[in-house]
Structure formats: C-alpha cells, structure tokens
C-alpha cells in the first residue's frame, strides 16, 4: 500500500452491475432511483434474514428468490418502508430451475391491439402488478457479483456490518418532474427511441419514375426490455426473429436475376417496439410524409407484410414447429400461407412443421404488424412465431431471455422458411422442386455467428462479423432501445446510434448491394443517392456500394423536436395509437454506481467512546492520586 488511492481501494469495493433506472410516461413513472439528491447508505441483509431487520436496509437476494421479494414489497408497505435498495446475486443455469419469470403484462401493450378482446393471456408467466417496471418502493436494483460481501461474511465480526452505498440520483427526482411532459419541458429526461433500418433487395432505382412493382415487406424487431437497463438481451423475443431475417437476406442475396422478379423485396428492422411500437409507427408516419428517410419507398405498393417474431424456441422433440398468425382472410394472406407451406415442402425435411394459428385466438399476437393493421385494416399480413395461443418463452422481456433460451436450428429453420416463401411469392413459381428455389440455403455458420455476436459477451460485439462493419463501443450486447440524443434525421450522426442498429444497417447495405466493377472508398463521397458508404468505421475510408438502405428515426408520434426542445403534442383522434401512447422517457443522471464497505456498528462505536472516556477519567484520577502521593513522600524526606 503506497498511496491514498491504494488505501481507498482496500477499504471500498466498487460493484459492477446492471442498474434499474427511472422511466417516465404521461401518467407517472416507474423504475429505480435514489429518493433524493444524496447517496443512499444502508446495511446489507440477506433476504432469508429480513424478518430481523429493524432499520432501512439493502436486501441481498438470489435471483431465484427475487420474485418472492418483489411480491412481498408490493404487498407489504411496512416491509417496503425498510427496503433502501436491492442487490440481486446472479446464478448460472437458473432458467432450468425456474418455472418462468416475465415482468410484463398478460397481454403486453394491449392498448395498441387492433381488436377489442384484450383479455387474452398471451403471456401466462406475467408478473402481476409489475407495471412494466420494478415496484416503486425500491430505490435501486442492481444485478452484481457481490464478491466483497460473500468473501467477508466469514470474517465479519459481531460489531461490524457490510453496507452498500447507492449512487443513482435521477435528475427527474431532484427536480420534481415526475412525468414525461414535465421532465421534457424542464429537460431532465430524454425520449426513448433510436433508429430503425430498412433495405430493399435488389436496390430500388430511386432515380426512376417507374416504380410499380408490388412490395413484399418483411419486418423484425431489434429491441427488448427487462428490469435491468443494460441487461435486455431478448434472445427469443425478438432477436431470434432479427437473426432469421438477416440470414434470409443473406441467402436470397446469392441468387441471380432478382431484378426480374415480379415483386420488390423490402426488409425493415424496427427499434422501440417494446415501448409502444415506436419504430413501426414512426415508419408509417415517415411514409405518409414522403420523407427522405423512406425516399424510394411507395407505401401504396405494399402488398403483403411478413413479420418474423419469436422463432428461437420452435424446436420440440426434434421438430421445429412454427405458427402463422393472421388477421383476416384476404387472397393475399391466403397466398402467403400457401407459399409458407410450399416453402416447407421444398425443404424436403420432416423436421419442420408450419401451421395456422388457432382460430380461437383474438387476433395477431403483440407485434409490429399491429401498427400496420391500425393504419390500414385491409392490408395483408402474417406473423411467424414459435407459439400458437400462448408464449412458449417463459422469460419474455426478462434478463433471463438469453442465449441459453434459444436453439440455433430453430432460427435456421425459420430463416429457410422465410427466404423460400419470399422467393415463391416474388417469382410466382408453384413447383416446389424448382432448381432456383432449391438453391436458396441458409448459411448455418452465419446464424451461429450472429447468435454469438448479438446474444453473448464472448465474443459479443467484438466478433469478427461485427468488427468487419463497425467499431463497437462495447463488447457485451444489449438490446435496450436507448434514448434520442439529437434532432431526428434521415442522415443521423452515427456517433449517436447504438452498436446493433449500426451493424444491422451495414450488414443489410452490404448484402443487398449490387457489385460495382470499380468500387471506390468514401473519402470523396459516393455518387448520387443510389450509393451508400459501408464499413466506414473500420478503416476510416469505407466502400461505396449501390444499395437502398436507410436509417429511419424511431420515437413517439406524440413528440416533436422544436428549437432544441422536445414537446408533447396533443392527442390526434386520427392517430388511434397516438391517443393511447404512454410517451416513454428516461431520466437523465450524472453517474450510476455502487460500492460496498465495512463499518462498525454505532452501538460498538458508542461503547468504544464511553470506554475511552472512562479510561481517560480513570487515568486522570490515577495520575492525580500518584502525583499527590509522590508529593507527600518528598515532603517527608
């Protein structure tokens, strides 16, 4: 120990983890925060010992007991008043030990459903009264490796205790702005949102006035949600669908003659769908406005929408089972269902099954397709899922929906179905033994790579595939939507865009591009609006390619950015989804952190104090008595 910092590091242990933060909407707020302007310091007590606590404490709970603690906090206000914070110990292989954990509603985002029967339980594992976030009684919740606590428990003496110091001061709490409208006005929060991506295969000649091909639009989502801000992996829901879409695009990109197909293939990956379908709703608004973000895309030509939802848990007893959810019985929808079955037949395997979802379902499950149906009830649409009437994902919108919760063979099977279905619909072929159709094969290795890159920390976003296109800001992926940091734009500053949307944009732009004989770098700009620059982050130069790939802002349709400030617009009766839009925002903060250290009990401190005082008094009396005795002895002499 050679310096003061060394001493501090010995005394204090900073804990890395994943915080729960304060989120707000038009009616209030959820999530976690320190209660005021100062840090919170509280003794750490294990959950099994909580009945003994007499003062506000930080509860240390194992992940498998967290739901029990959550329920008790929600039901027992006296107990909740003694909870200053919660620390959750991670455990491995917990998915096999839990019946399920889903901190969302039985019908997620039911207010956006294009039908009236919203009592259906799609999510049977839902946490009652979760209200999309942690109980409001808790100030902070962090998943962390509590090494300091566990290592020192055996050494702990009767007069010492381990305490946690929470630093999670939210600007909205400090300023008293406790809903989205007030915090946006005072600039203590930012809107949830980001950037969606769309791309066409082959590229659309946006310089041409003749764009009359019907459009087959294939969509997926790339954001999820959980209690913990940066622990939102969403492996099955919805990232398995995203990976299937990317793999399908890759498979189709190797075909020749895509330009002569009778229909145009367009792919869209939305963000913000877990928070009010922000991406799909804003995409439709941009189409209505004919903005630059969707330049070259004519929404009146969209004939059919195929959404790839949760497909990572389709494997059961060696068979990959998928269900096609529809709403209505149009000829275009029936053609899509027939194409799906023909695609399955062309794969020449008994390990894949496709069936129509149960007629007893109230309609399509929670999905981006709801936005399109609300906009145009007559549009044809199909959602491909790994479930029929209820989610098979036991960890929907939970941090436990990770890589171990999906099966790569199911994702490969879904991608194969989608790729061949799109070709059948775009070409009009009916022969399931067609040679071109048989040549559409999904790259299994690519799917495995994408799973490791997007759903794990090893290799995570530092994998070769991702680093081929972008320079990631972090290694561990998170699919939380994030916040809009600047004025929305069709050509945004990529420094304000999260890693995953930037990767998706580059990947799609590359796979859907037309090769050029004399490709050039981007240092002097690309030629015209038909070209985009890919891989610019990796070497500072990039490559110009012919591709119709665009970023589309994703944020609430109830918000408008004016003069550097976000304003909430009044509800518009023509925008039914906007009327029920919660308008989610995230509180600003200066720092988030937590540290643990050992302190002596106050009673022991008082005992030491009184003992010291007593010792001092006794010492003084002893000295005075000795001095008097010595003085008398000297006088006698």
pLDDT tens for 63-117 read 778 878 878 887 888 888 888 888 888 776 677 777 888 889 999 999 999 999 9
Q: What is the pLDDT of residue 603?
A: 63
More confident residue, 37 or 425: 425
CB 68 within 8 A of CB 94: no
The structure tokens listed for 220 are 């997926």
pLDDT at 551 over 80: yes
Q: Residue 208 to residues 42, 203, 296, 426: CA-CA distances in angstroms? A: 67, 12, 9, 21
Cα–Cα distance between 637 and 372 in angstroms, integer? 113
pLDDT score at 72: 84
Q: Taking 70 as the threshold, does the pLDDT of residue 346 lie above it?
A: yes
Higher-pLDDT residue of 187, 161? 187
Paired tokens of 567: 């304003």
Angle (CA) 259-261-266 rounded to 5° is: 75
- The lowest-confidence range among 68-82, 316-330, 583-597 is 68-82
Mean pLDDT of 606-630: 82
Residue 351: closest CA among 440, 416, 424, 404: 416
CA distance 152 to 323: 52
List C-alpha distances in Å: 573 to 74, 113, 189, 192, 579. Answer: 36, 16, 27, 23, 7
Per DSSP, what are the bridge partners of residue 483?
A: 192
Report pLDDT for 277.
97
Task: Say if residue 598's pLDDT is above 80.
Answer: no
pLDDT of res. 59: 87
Nearest 5°: CA angle at 298, between 294 and 299? 95
Say if residue 149's pLDDT is above 60. no
Beta-strand relationship, 141-144 and 83-89? parallel
Mean pLDDT across the stretch 210-215? 81
**Percentage of the chain exceeding pLDDT 70:** 90
Give the list of residues 6+ apart from residue 596 with CB closer than 8 angstroms, or none. 12, 13, 15, 44, 146, 148, 149, 162, 163, 164, 165
Q: Give the model's pLDDT for residue 151.
A: 46
State phi, psi for 506 to the nearest 5 degrees. -65, -40
Enter the tokens of residue 41: 């310091």
- Let me know the angle formed at the C-alpha of 287 by 281 and 293, rounded to the nearest 5 degrees: 95
Task: Give the Cα separation of 247 and 398 in Å (integer).
Answer: 25
The more confidently predicted of residues 385 and 2 is 385
Confidence of residue 185 (pLDDT cuts 50, 70, 90): very high
Evaluate whether 202 touches 291 at the Cβ level (below 8 Å).
no
Is the pLDDT confidence value at 546 over 80?
yes
Residue 226 has pLDDT above 80, yes or no: yes
Q: Looking at residue 55, what is its pLDDT?
A: 83
What's the rounded mean pLDDT across residues 9-34? 82
Q: What is the mean pLDDT of residues 606-619?
A: 80
Nearest to 238 by CA among 23, 496, 411, 91: 411
Report residue 210's pLDDT band, with 50, 70 and 90 as the boundaries. Answer: low
**Mean pLDDT in residue range 566-595:** 91
> Measured at the alpha carbon of residue 129, what is the angle toward residues 128 and 132, in degrees to the nearest 5?
105
The pLDDT of residue 614 is: 84
Q: What does residue 20 show for φ and ψ, rounded to 5 degrees? A: -95, 130
- Contact predicate 506/532, CB 8 Å: no
Q: Report the alpha-carbon distance of residue 542 to residue 533 in Å, rounded.
A: 6
Q: Return the structure tokens found at 474.
A: 């972090």
CA distance 215 to 514: 19
pLDDT digits (tens, 9 = 90+) for 270-296: 999 999 999 999 999 999 999 999 998
| Torsion-angle region of 348 (φ positive above 0: left; ψ -120 to 50: alpha; else: beta) | left
Report the distance separating Cα 396 and Cα 365, nearest Å: 13
Residue 237 three-state SS:
helix
DSSP string covering 266-329, please? EEEEESSGGGTSHHHHHHHHHHHHT-GGGTT--GGGEEEEEEE---TT-EETTEEEEEEEESS-
């Amino acid at each position: 120990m050679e310096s003061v910092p060394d001493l501090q590091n010995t005394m204090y242990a900073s804990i890395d983890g994943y915080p729960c933060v304060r989120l707000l909407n038009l009616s209030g707020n959820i999530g976690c925060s320190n209660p005021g302007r100062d840090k919170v310091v509280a003794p750490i007590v294990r959950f099994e010992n909580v009945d003994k606590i007499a003062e506000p404490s930080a509860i240390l709970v194992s992940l498998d007991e967290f739901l029990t603690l959550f329920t008790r906090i929600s039901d027992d206000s006296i107990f909740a008043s003694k909870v200053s914070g919660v620390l959750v110990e991670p455990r491995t292989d917990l998915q096999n030990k839990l019946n399920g954990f889903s901190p969302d509603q039985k019908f997620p985002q039911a207010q956006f459903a294009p039908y009236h029967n919203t009592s259906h339980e799609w999510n049977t594992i839902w946490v009652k009264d979760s209200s999309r976030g942690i109980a409001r009684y808790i100030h902070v919740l962090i998943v962390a490796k509590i090494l300091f606590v566990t290592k020192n428990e055996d050494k702990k003496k009767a007069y010492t205790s381990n305490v946690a110091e929470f630093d999670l001061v939210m600007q909205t709490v400090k300023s008293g702005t406790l809903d989205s409208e007030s915090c946006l006005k005072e600039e203590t929060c930012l809107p949830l949102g980001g950037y969606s991506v769309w791309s066409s295969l082959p590229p659309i000649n946006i310089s041409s006035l003749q764009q009359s091909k019907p459009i087959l639009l294939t969509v997926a989502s790339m954001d999820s949600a959980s209690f913990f801000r940066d622990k939102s992996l969403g492996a099955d829901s919805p990232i398995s669908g995203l990976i299937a879409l990317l793999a399908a695009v890759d498979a189709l990109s190797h075909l020749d003659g895509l330009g002569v197909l009778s229909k145009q293939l367009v792919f869209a990956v939305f963000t913000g769908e877990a928070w009010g379908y922000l991406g799909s709703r804003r995409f439709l608004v941009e189409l209505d406005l004919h903005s630059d973000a969707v330049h070259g895309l004519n929404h009146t030509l969209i004939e059919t929408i195929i959404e790839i939802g949760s497909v990572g848990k389709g494997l059961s007893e060696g068979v990959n089972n998928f269900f096609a959810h529809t709403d209505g019985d149009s000829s275009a929808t029936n053609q899509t269902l027939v194409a799906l079955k023909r695609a399955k037949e062309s794969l020449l395997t008994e390990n894949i099954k496709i069936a129509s979802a149960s007629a007893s379902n109230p309609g399509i499950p929670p999905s981006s397709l709801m936005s399109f149906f609300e906009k145009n009830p007559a549009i044809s649409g199909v959602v491909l899922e790994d479930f029929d009437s209820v989610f098979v994902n036991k960890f929907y919108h939970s941090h436990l929906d990770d890589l171990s919760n999906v099966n790569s063979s199911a994702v490969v099977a879904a991608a194969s179905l989608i790729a061949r279905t799109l070709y059948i619909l775009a070409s009009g072929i009916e022969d399931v033994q067609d040679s071109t159709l048989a040549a559409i094969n999904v790259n299994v290795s690519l799917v495995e790579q994408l799973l490791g890159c997007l759903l794990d920390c090893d290799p995570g976003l530092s994998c070769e595939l991702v680093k081929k296109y972008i320079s990631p800001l972090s290694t561990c992926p998170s699919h939380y939507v994030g916040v809009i940091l600047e004025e929305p734009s069709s050509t945004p500053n990529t420094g304000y865009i999260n890693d995953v949307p930037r990767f998706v944009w580059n990947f799609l732009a590359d796979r859907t591009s037309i090769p050029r004989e004399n490709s050039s770098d981007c240092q002097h700009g690309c030629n015209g609006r038909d070209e985009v620059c890919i891989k610019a982050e990796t070497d500072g130069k990039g490559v110009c390619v012919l591709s119709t790939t665009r970023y589309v802002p994703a944020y609430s349709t109830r918000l408008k950015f004016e003069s550097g400030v976000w304003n909430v617009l009044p509800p518009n009766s023509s925008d039914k989804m906007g009327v029920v839009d919660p308008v989610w925002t995230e509180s600003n903060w200066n720092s988030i952190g937590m540290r643990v250290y050992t302190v002596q009990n106050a009673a022991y401190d008082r005992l030491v104090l009184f003992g010291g005082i007593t010792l001092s008094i006794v010492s003084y009396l002893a000295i005075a008595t000795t001095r008097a005795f010595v003085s008398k002895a000297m006088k006698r002499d």
